[in-house]
Amino acid sequence: MNEIILKSRKRIRRESILGFVFISPWIAGFLIFTLYPIIYSLYLSFTMTGEGGALKWIGWDNYLTAFKERDFWLSIKNTLILSGIGIPIAQIMALLAALLLNIRMKHQGLFRTIFFLPSVVPAVATGLLWKWILNPRLGPINGFLEQLGIAGPGWLADPSWVKPSLILMSFWGIGGTMVIYLAGLQNIPNELYEAAELDGASSWARLKSITLPLLRPVTLFNTIMGIITSFQSFTQIIIMLDMDGGIEKSGLVYGLYIYTNAFRDFKMGYASALSWILLIITAITVGITMKFFREKTN
């Protein structure tokens, strides 16, 4: 009896040790390269830089200031709108694209490459192109609408159209997410489909009962990474609009707000506080998402 307990204890200990051995590269890297910058930024968030570069401890001031700032709330609102609408739609479109290009057909590889192309083209180039495409006066979209007798919207020149434009542009970059879904689709055994087919299941039923459930880990990955990157993103805004987030700050996102505070206004302390607020918001959102996925799985 005792021996069995001892043996299983030994096994558990061995497994723990092995687990730590395997993850040790990351732990080492975290302790050496990541921990210090993280703690330093936390420290900075309670300070401001004074004359001669001296850091002054100001307690919760930076955090309290943030809650009083109009731009803080505006950037949170803009980010939530863009992410809340953009992420689900982009996920669905990437998944649909992956399903489409998972069907055996001629030139499949070529199609996949083409769908992936916009993700490879540098942002400066796509930015320039989009500016032209969405140009309300000279661009092809409004030109086409005009021929149909419809007056096109102002796109980036109209504060109420800025967000739809940005979401529209993001669809072009679904190639990356699509590739990850494609990789996920390969892990679904063909036998499952064959068996379902024999049972006479429709393709919709197969998608619902086989593909989607088995794809859940990949979907969770894509959604979480989508949230993390979307909450921090801002480079596209700078290229397409400007440092203030375009007309009436309609594109002022949280990442941009941090960026301008850190590098344009030289308020590293305030920017650090903003970043820690973002970390908390992101962590809560990701936590809810994970819980949602887990409930679905059960």
Of 78 and 102, nearer to other proteins (C-beta) is 102
Whole-number Å distance between alpha carbons of 277 and 147: 48
Q: How many residues bind other proteins (CB under 8 A)?
A: 120
DSSP structural state of residue 46? T
38 binds other proteins (CB under 8 A): yes
Nearest to 249 by CA among 174, 162, 188: 162
Q: Minimum CB separation from other proteins for residue 2, in Å?
A: 23
Cα gap 257→261, rounded to integer Å: 6
**CB-wise, 1 or 198, nearer to other proteins?**
198
CA–CA dist 243, 73 (Å, integer): 17
* Binding of other proteins by 212 (CB under 8 A): no
Q: Per-residue string for binding with other proteins, 45-84, x by CB under 8 A? A: ---xxxxxx-------------------------------
**Nearer of residues 89 and 225 to other proteins, judged by Cβ:** 225
What is d(CA 251, CA 240) in angstroms, rounded to the nearest whole number?
10
What are the CA-CA distances from residue 151 to residues 141, 147, 155, 256 (Å)? 11, 9, 12, 32
Nearest residue (CB) to other proteins, 63 versus 193: 193
Please say which residue, 73 or 132, places its beta carbon nearer to other proteins. Answer: 132
Written as six digits, the tokens of 218 are 């990949």
Under rule CB under 8 A, residue 135 binds other proteins: yes
Using CA atoms, how far apart are residues 219 and 212, in angstroms rounded to an integer?
9
Touching other proteins, residues 222-241 (CB under 8 A): 224-225, 228, 231-232
Residue 106 interacting with other proteins (CB under 8 A): yes
The span from the CA of 58 to the CA of 45, in Å, is 9
Residues 257-296 that bind other proteins (CB under 8 A): 258-260, 262-268, 271-272, 275-276, 278-279, 282-283, 286
Only one of the segments 2-10, 81-89, 92-100 lies at the binding site for other proteins (rule: CB under 8 A); that segment is 92-100
Q: Three-state SS for 57?
A: strand
